[in-house]
Amino acid sequence: MRGALKFFLTVSTGLACAFSVGCGGSSSSSSSTSTTSPTQTIVTSGANVAPISVNGGPSGNYPDAGFASVTVCVPGTTTCQTIDGVLVDTGSSGLRILSSALTLSLPQQNASDGNPVVECLPFVSGYTWGPVQTADVGIASEKASSVPIQVLSDTDFAAPAACTDQGASSDTLENLGANGIIGVGLFAQDCGSYCEVVQTAAGDFNPYYECPSSTASCQAIGESLAQQVQNPVALFSTDNNGVIIELPAVSEEPAVSGSLVFGIGTQSNNALGTAAVYTADPTSGNFSTTYSGTAYPDESFIDSGSNAYFFPSTTITQCGSTSDAPGFYCPSTTQNLSATNQGANGASGTVNFSVANAETLFNTSDFAFGDLGGTFSGGFDWGLPFFFGRNVFVAIQGQSTPGGTAPYWAY
Amino acid sequence: MGAVLAIVSFGLPAWAALGGDIASVQADQLHMQGSLRTTTAASYTVHEIQGATGAVVREYVSSAGKVFAVAWQGPWPPDMRQLLGSYFEQYRQAAKAQSSVRIGRRPLMIQQPGLVVQIGGHPRSFSGRAYIPDQLPSSVSAEAIQ
């Protein structure tokens, strides 16, 4: 689509401030005076561009989450279904669709003995459980053939205790808040080499199982890299080395729109430009964030699928544990804060951010919040608010990119 | 075959559970064969268990010999049933209740009078900690549990 119809929406600091409560009156439309928010360009058309909406999602109550539409087809056919309300998640890799949202019958992936392969993928907020099936996947004008995806269902197969012990199931619209998750994170597979063999040490979790029948007990299996649930972007024929999430600056709004752009430096509309590259640990997908004098090198990451800034603070007031915002911060006045990110490549940069009262924010009809924060004891989770007002590049491990060796984030 | 043996030898043992006593930690130690590191602070001892897949579990044992806290990090969550012991059901009920309060994907924060559990991360990297607030030695802050 090089050179084809293409136009840009330019959001300058001044324009962003027109919708922002906290902006000073002296902001001009020129970006040259800004030291904190350089001009952001959001590309809105192109064969490699899919719209993202931050609008509460298909359950109508999901704050700070971006949704896109994804088309899945029976492999090699034109029997297809477009599914909207799919959560765009840079914190995981792989496409997962609710069984209840899927009207197609997709081919089941089977283990070498013929038994169906079923996956339990833990997330912090609960696990997804369901069979691994194969689909052709399309989004924007990009296509990937015969992609292993996960179909989320509590009822097709009986989840083993090792899975249900992970907390709550996220296999329904009510629990997931989305019709699916498209994981466009740092890796080509959801698990990687860890899952190629069955882990036998006590306490080690196994995501992949084979299940002889809907009721028989499932057994952990090793799953080859190619058979694991795949980041569909890595399987596109072009624009396959990563994505860009482009969302405008926002204070609080009922909804905002942006773009999910495929490829980094592969088209005229996805150049890395002057974005700084922060490489991630190739095993864990973390970098290091220093906040309030403490470095968190073990569990700091950028994740559009987390719905706030989550970080440790002993000084910011938490919302009550019995409130409707447990785990979020509820300061009486908005806190202006900063933290410093450092990549494994040594790149370092400071990020300014703000945290407002979550209960107050949730008590509106808005779903896009730039200042939503919450607690996390062991690291810094840069959730969706981080993406507002800056384009964030996510480069996939093993792919060639203009920014050097992936995995990395750039912004 | 050597690789398989190594995994078995250096894998995580059956952990001492939260609220358990020192005897179970010592039993773990016998099975650890060098992958256990113990450090002593003023009022407690930390038993750090390193697994072959990169998982680390730290057990905090009071001078009275009780496991008052556990912390962990690894590519996937640990066996929470084993790690939390008699506190597991309380944890599971609280986790399910919290997921129904407000939709969204975020770190888990359970803060009850008798149990605190905090978990964060993403696929390929999870970490967390759990402790019994009224069993923390008086000189120990929750932030020390990492």
A310 touching B, CB under 8 A? yes
Q: Do A64 and B13 touch (CB under 8 A)?
A: no
Size of interface A-B (CB pairs under 8 A): 197
pLDDT digits (tens, 9 = 90+) for A116-168: 999 999 999 889 999 999 999 999 999 999 999 999 999 999 999 999 998 88
Distance CA B115, CA B110 (A): 8
B120: closest chain A residue by CA: A124
pLDDT at A248: 98
The identity of residue A146, as a single letter, is: S
Percentage of chain B with pLDDT > 90? 42
A89-98 residue pLDDT tens? 999 999 999 9
Q: What is the CA A63 to chain-centroid distance, rounded?
A: 14
> Mutate which of B10, B111, B124, B146 to test chain A, going by most A C-beta atoms within 10 A?
B124
For chain A, the average pLDDT equals 91
- Residues A196-251: tens digit of each pLDDT: 999 988 778 999 999 999 999 999 999 999 999 999 999 999 999 999 999 999 99
What is the value of ipTM here, to two decimals? 0.89
Q: How confident is the model at residue B34 (pLDDT cuts 50, 70, 90)?
A: very low
Each residue of A382-408: pLDDT tens digit?
999 999 999 999 999 999 999 999 999
More confident residue, A397 or B15: A397
Residue A134, in any domain of the structure: yes
Residue A82 lies in a domain: yes
Which ranges of A116-216 would DSSP assign to H, the alpha helix? 161-164, 173-176
pLDDT bucket at B2, cuts 50 / 70 / 90: very low
Question: Is the pLDDT reported for residue A174 higher than 80?
Answer: yes
Q: Supply A271's token pair.
A: 């150049």
- Higher-confidence residue of B9 and A375: namely A375
Instruction: Give residues with Cβ within 8 angstroms of B49, minimum separation 6.
Output: B12, B13, B15, B28, B32, B35, B36, B56, B57, B58, B59
Residues in chain A: 411
Contact call for B11 and A168, based on CB within 8 A: no
**Does the beta-carbon distance from B12 to A284 stay under 8 Å?**
no
Q: Which residue has the higher pLDDT, A17 or A75?
A: A75
Inter-CA distances, A379 with A311, B65, B126, Å: 6, 29, 10
A77: exposed, middle or buried (Cβ count in 10 Å: 0-12, 13-18, 19+): exposed
For residue A117, give the nearest of A131, A134, A99, A96 by alpha carbon: A131
Give me the number of domains chain A comprises. 1
- CB contact under 8 Å between B118 and A375, yes or no, is yes
What CATH number does residue A179 fall under? 2.40.70
Query: Which tokens go with A409?
Result: 């984030």
Report if residue A131 sits inside a domain: yes
- Residue B129: phi and psi, rounded to 5, are -150, 155
The whole domain housing A94 covers: 50-235
Tell whether A303 lies on the interface with B, counting CB pairs under 8 A.
yes
List, as own/partner pairs, every contact residues A130-133 make where C-beta atoms lie below 8 angstroms and the sequence separation is at least 24, other chains included: A130/A96, A130/A99, A130/A154, A130/A156, A130/A157, A130/A171, A131/A156, A131/A157, A132/A108, A132/A208, A132/A227, A132/A229, A133/A106, A133/A107, A133/A108, A133/A109
Domain ranges of chain B: 2-144
Nearest to A201 among B7, B111, B118 (CB): B7
Q: Is residue A75 part of a domain?
A: yes
Q: Which of B63, B111, B82 is nearest to A201 (CA)?
A: B82
Please indicate, yes or no, if residue A116 is contained in any of the structural domains: yes
The answer to whether A106 touches A134, Cβ cutoff 8 Å, is yes
Strands of the sheet with A309-311, listed across from one edge: A348-355, A335-342, A287-291, A294-302, A381-382, A309-311, A373-375
Which pLDDT score is estimated for B139? 83
Give the pLDDT band of residue A31 (cuts 50, 70, 90): very low
Question: Smallest CA–CA separation between A30 and chain B, in Å?
Answer: 37
pLDDT, mean of residues B76-83: 89
Chain A from 311 to 330: CB within 8 A of any B CB: 312, 314, 321, 324-327
Q: How far off is chain A from B4, nearest CA to CA, in Å?
A: 9
Q: Is residue A327 part of a domain?
A: no
| Exposure on the CB side of residue A68, measured as CA atoms within 13 A | 27
Give tens-digit pLDDT for A324-347: 898 999 999 999 999 999 999 999
Rounded to whole angstroms, the Cα distance separating A67 from A229 reads: 20
Residues 6+ apart with CB under 8 A from A227: A109, A117, A132, A148
> Euclidean distance between the first and final Cα of chain A, in Å?
24
Cβ-contact A408, A395 below 8 angstroms: yes
The residue count for chain B: 146
Are the beta carbons of B121 and A283 separated by less than 8 Å? no
The Cα B80–Cα A124 span in angstroms is 13
Label each residue of A310-349 as H, E or C.
Answer: EECCCCCCECCCCCCCCCEECCCCCEEEEEEEECCCCCEE
Sorting pLDDT into bands at 50, 70 and 90, what band is B25? Answer: low
Q: Would you say A326 and B107 are in contact if contact means Cβ atoms under 8 Å apart?
A: no
Residue with tokens 């600091």: A13
A61 chain-B contacts, CB cut-off 8 A: 103
| Pairing, β B67-74 against β A126-139 | unpaired
Please tell me which residue of chain A has the smallest CA distance to B72.
A378
| Per-residue confidence (pLDDT) for residue A67, from 0 to 100 | 98
- A162: chain B residues, CB-CB within 8 Å: 79
Q: What pLDDT does residue B98 have?
A: 81
pLDDT band at A38 (very low <50, low <70, confident <90, very high): low
Would you say the C-alpha torsion A315, B61, B18, B146 has a positive or negative sign? positive
A297 CB within 8 Å of a chain B CB: no
Q: Is residue A129 part of a domain?
A: yes
Partner-chain contact A194 B76, CB within 8 Å: yes
Does B104 sit within 8 Å of A177, measured CB to CB? yes
Query: Bigger pLDDT: B33 or A273?
Result: A273
Query: Closest chain B residue to A294 measured between Cα atoms?
Result: B143
Chain A residues touching B5 at Cβ < 8 A: none
CB contact under 8 A, A327 and B107: yes
